[in-house]
Amino acid sequence: MKNVLIIGSGGREHALTWHLAKSPTVGHIFVAPGNPGTANEPNAENIAIKVTDIDALCRFAQHKQIDLTIVGPEIPLSLGIADHLQQVGIPCFGPSQKAAQLESSKTFCKSFLQRHAIPTASWQVFEQPDAAKDYVKQQGFPIVIKQDGLAAGKGVVIAQSQQEADQAIDQLLGDRYAVKRILIEDYLSGEEVSFIAMVGNRHIVPLATTQDHKKRDDGDVGPNTGGMGAYSPAPIITPERHDWIMQHIIQPTVRGMRAEGIPYCGFLYAGLMVSDKGIVVLEYNCRLGDPETQVLLSRLNGDLTTLCLQLLSDEPRITQEALTPLNWDTDTALGIVMASQGYPGTYTSGEIIQGLDASGEPSHKIFHAGTAMNDNGQVITAGGRVLCAVAQGRNIRIAQEKAYQLVKQIHWKHCYYRHDIGRLPPS
Ligand code: AMP
Ligand code: GLY
């Protein structure tokens, strides 16, 4: 039986905890810092250590003789938690600080993609506002302006006019907390998909396909968010496209990182645009997606812990065929994020959530994210994205209907969610 440490406190980490809690190979699960949902899963315990307190996390892992650490968010990875855990002999399924630059530095990612001829939108880097504004003038609209560095999905502006672009440039280059560098890249239209693979020292295992809805409001409008809902599988990724993505994007990325002396190990999440010009990389994330994980793990039957440990191994006897298999339910899983009204801007917290104990089918699950317990033992809102309601069904339509039924059982004062999660774009 393995003891596992999960780092993070969102819906993704609740889904990981829930999934591992069902596994016969997992003993105890520690979640740092976790949320009321993770605390409620069997054999799971929340540990009050912040995701940024790398020293305390390493000390804890050593003290508890953790067999495997899975890191949810990008911040601890960009702070080097995988390197620190490796130094003290604790297996961590996540990339080194250098390899995590694929997400933490957009200029690293874009120049890497260019060096290895992996398709991505054309781009330029700027440090001076005037030069950036001139470039935009030459390029036309819409145009995409991105902050270099981690920005929790908020560092990207799609400008429709020179005025909007100038404003974004001044704001991003003037942000005193930010890396003083921006990228300006061509706008690509098409459909976005999240393609996530588990990358080991010797093997790559792609997960099932998934898509999320990044815009806040119905009809894919409003500000960008971390994700307002997701479904799996993603019908747009046909077997042919899947093979193409593995061959032209994922494998060259893994080979390229190794060739540059910064081997990548962990979940590798490619944000792809399926456009009429082909499939291109919009971004890499060095972690699982949220809410993609909630729908993926709802469909997964397989021993994730054993697979992570096999992928971390250098043992040549562990061939691709010998890896523990991941089996995916053929049913579609669909997850709806229930957020605090105002997210990703300002919102109120501390509102009592009702209906959480509403029972549903076994394939229904409410994952916690921004929740907390008040002194009376009631679950209250404590973040932008509060819950993710996931249901499964024979097809996307049925999964959608069931997931919205689940959502309707839950209430709090300023609850907000999209009504069109799973609405497929016209093909
Ligand atoms: P990123 O942080 O690079 O993933 O960007 C966040 C979001 O902005 C993406 O999920 C897309 O919805 C949008 N986006 C980023 N780059 C582009 C692009 N070149 N063309 C169109 N949309 C983009
Ligand atoms: N759902 C998008 C992300 O996890 O970055």
pLDDT, tens digit, 9 for 90 and up, residues 185-221: 999 999 999 999 999 999 999 999 999 999 999 999 9
Tokens, residue 101: 């630059």
286-329, pLDDT tens digit by residue?
999 999 999 999 999 999 999 999 999 999 999 999 999 999 99
Q: Is 55 exposed, middle or buried (0-12, 13-18, 19+ CB in 10 A)?
A: exposed
pLDDT score for 409: 95
pLDDT score for 277: 81
Contact between 24 and 8 under an 8 Å Cβ cutoff? The reply is no
Q: Which residues line ligand 2 (CB under 6 A)?
A: 212, 226-227, 285, 289-290, 292
Quote the radius of gyration of the chain (alpha carbons, Å): 21
pLDDT score for 10: 98
Q: Is 171 helix (H, G, I), strand (E, B) or coil?
A: helix
* Nearest CA owner, ligand 1 atom 16: 282
Distance 352 CA to ligand 2 centre (A): 27
For residues 106 and 146, give the distance between their C-alpha atoms in angstroms, rounded to a whole number.
Answer: 8
Q: Which atom belonging to ligand 1 lies closest to the Cα atom of 153? A: 2
Ligand 1 touching residue 280 (CB < 6 A): no
pLDDT score for 174: 76
Contacts of 384 (CB under 8 A, 6+ apart): 225, 226, 339, 340, 343, 344, 347, 370
pLDDT score for 154: 59
Tokens, residue 294: 């909630």
* Closest ligand, as measured to the CA of 285: 2
Contacts of 274 (CB under 8 A, 6+ apart): 190, 191, 192, 193, 236, 237, 241
> What are the b/e assignments for 290-326, b being 16+ CB within 10 Å?
bbbbbbbbbbbebbbbbbbbbbbeeeeebeeeebbeb
pLDDT score for 77: 98
Residues of the chain under the 70 pLDDT cut:
150-154, 175-179, 359-360, 424-427
pLDDT score for 173: 86
For residues 273 and 293, give the distance between their C-alpha atoms in angstroms, rounded to a whole number.
Answer: 19
Q: Is 2 helix (H, G, I), strand (E, B) or coil?
A: strand
pLDDT score for 423: 87
